Amino acid sequence: MSKSAKHSPLILIGTPLRIATMLALFFVLTLVTTAAAQTFTVLHEFTGGEDGFLPLSGLTLDRAGKVYGTTAYGANQSCLGGCGTVFRISRAGTFSTLYRFHGIDGDAPEANVTVASDGTLYGTTEFGGAQGTGNIYRLQPPMRALGNATGTWNETVIHTFGAYNDGEGVLPWWGFLPH
């Protein structure tokens, strides 16, 4: 037997074991490094006051890196527990309440908002409206003056859901899908 033939079986048997060991070590180091590199920062703690409370929806990120969301309750007390809010967190971490619902214009916005290309927000409220069965709303950004947004967001009810037996559905708690 030649010298290379004699060691050949050991190399073939040892190579998969060495590869598996190196891969396992790589994955363990990668997981440890990845886990150690993650940090979390609280961006806002809801007080239950004017900023609302119980943010049940997911968050929506716009093209500029701002985060939008809703709270199901808080702010305006014309609804039991408050009617809810729409909020924004800037890239710098500044929290702003954009809109506080009042009941007839919506109550309990529990779904994500959808951000249109012009910055307009669209969403649903589970309750509110004439029948108390929910609304579809639009929030338009304030007028822009010299590149800065000034004023308040303008809310428009696009649709109010009707009675329970009218066949169109009631109590929407899901948002819109962007197109």
Rounded to whole angstroms, the Cα distance separating 128 from 87 reads 19
Cβ neighbours of residue 100 closer than 8 Å, sequence gap 6 or more: 50, 52, 75, 76, 83, 84, 85
Inter-CA distances, 85 with 4, 13, 125, Å: 76, 64, 10
User: Coil, strand or helix: which one is 175?
Assistant: coil
Output the pLDDT for position 8: 39
Cross-strand partners of 103: 106
The pTM score is 0.72
Output the pLDDT for position 165: 67
**Tally of CB atoms within 10 A around 76:** 17
Output the pLDDT for position 113: 94
What are the per-10-residue average pLDDT scores of the chain (179 residues)?
44 51 58 63 89 91 94 84 92 94 90 92 90 90 64 88 72 67
Rounded to whole angstroms, the Cα distance separating 81 from 102 reads 12
